[in-house]
């Protein structure tokens, strides 16, 4: 493919992504993640993934998208904003991560990715590809960083200068060559706000996280009883945790999302501490029928609430 055509196709994809509501879009060559390979291996060997056994699966596929999509040549990374300045009204209520206020992002974003892939095929002919949103062994942050959408910060989240980090990351892996973007510089500087603020010391050093100590892990991924280690360290969180993002100076640039599907479920932000403590399975099903919170199930959420002081 001619260089000019590669650029033209890349520009078209980015324009269509913007039309679909994506915050930004970048493209990297589908290749082996050489830098990430030893880091991932060490992280797994040190059991930093806790009970997330699935992290041990598909090690090779995690590091090479060509094993996920035969003939893959390009990884199109996309960011989708979920930031909202809205918060729960009762300061004493158990806290819910912002990303879970509205409809489950998997469905919302996957629909948009499918529309984008369909559009790519309309514009460029028979293009092979697959869409991914947090549902396969794809190293989202590594690919987004390669595609120039931001840098992986000291809190191990992807951070973008213009928009912060309150966004989802998704990919379309394609079997055509495109014009590729370049990584951007790290702008964390000497700041350690996220490390200093982490309630459980899960950020063990700059750019390093012990997933088994993370509140998000304890409240979402962990299926067994919450370890005593977390006692009095939960900072009030019952599902997820936003601390390392909230304190990040770059999130002062975060703008409210424009996605109506992410509007908080009716009455969700008004629920007080007592409402949560007396939560019934019927109410859980009603409030979270289309929410990512369903992942922890009623038993998991009530376990989390009871664990809080």
pLDDT at 2 over 80: no
Range of the domain at 151: 1-309
Question: Average pLDDT of 89-117?
Answer: 97
Note the pLDDT tens digit of each residue in 168-222. Answer: 999 999 999 999 999 999 999 999 999 999 999 999 999 999 999 999 999 999 9
Note the pLDDT tens digit of each residue in 265-296. Answer: 889 999 999 999 999 999 999 999 999 999 99
- Per DSSP, what are the bridge partners of residue 76? 27, 172
At residue 3, the pLDDT reads 73
pLDDT at 236 over 90: yes
Domain count across the chain: 1
- Per DSSP, what are the bridge partners of residue 80? 168
At residue 44, the pLDDT reads 83
pLDDT at 10 over 80: yes
Predicted confidence band of residue 112 (pLDDT cuts 50, 70, 90):
very high
The set of catalytic residues is 134
Note the pLDDT tens digit of each residue in 34-60. Answer: 999 889 889 888 888 888 877 877 788
Widest distance between CA atoms in the chain:
64
Could you tell me the CA-to-CA distances from 279 to 25, 196, 205, 213, 285 in Å, in that order?
A: 40, 33, 38, 27, 10
């Amino acid at each position: 493919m001619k260089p000019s055509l590669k650029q033209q196709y890349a520009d078209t994809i980015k324009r269509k992504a913007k039309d679909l509501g994506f915050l930004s879009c970048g493209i990297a060559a589908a290749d082996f993640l050489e830098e990430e390979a030893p880091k991932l291996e060490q992280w797994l060997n040190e059991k930093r993934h806790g009970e997330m056994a699935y992290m041990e699966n598909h090690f090779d596929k995690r590091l090479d998208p060509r094993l996920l999509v035969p003939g893959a040549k390009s990884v199109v990374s996309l960011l989708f904003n979920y930031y909202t300045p809205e918060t729960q009204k009762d300061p004493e209520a158990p806290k819910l991560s912002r990303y879970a206020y509205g409809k489950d992002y998997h469905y919302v974003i996957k629909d948009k990715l499918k529309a984008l892939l369909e559009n790519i095929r309309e514009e460029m002919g028979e293009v092979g590809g697959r869409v991914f949103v947090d549902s396969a062994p794809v190293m989202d942050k590594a690919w987004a960083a390669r595609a120039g959408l931001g840098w992986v910060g000291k809190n191990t989240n992807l951070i973008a200068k213009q928009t912060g980090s309150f966004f989802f990351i998704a990919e379309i892996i394609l079997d055509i060559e495109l014009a590729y973007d370049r990584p951007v510089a790290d702008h964390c500087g000497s700041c350690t706000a996220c490390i200093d603020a982490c309630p459980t010391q899960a950020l063990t050093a700059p750019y390093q996280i012990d997933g088994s100590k993370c509140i998000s892990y304890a409240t979402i991924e962990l299926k067994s009883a919450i370890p005593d280690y977390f006692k009095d360290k939960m900072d009030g969180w019952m599902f997820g945790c936003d601390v390392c993002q909230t304190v990040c100076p770059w999130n002062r640039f975060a703008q409210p999302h424009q996605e109506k599907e992410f509007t908080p479920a009716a009455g969700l932000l008004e629920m007080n501490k007592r409402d949560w403590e007396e939560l019934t399975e019927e109410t859980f099903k009603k409030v979270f029928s289309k929410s990512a919170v369903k992942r922890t199930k009623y038993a998991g959420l009530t376990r989390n609430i009871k664990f809080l002081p």
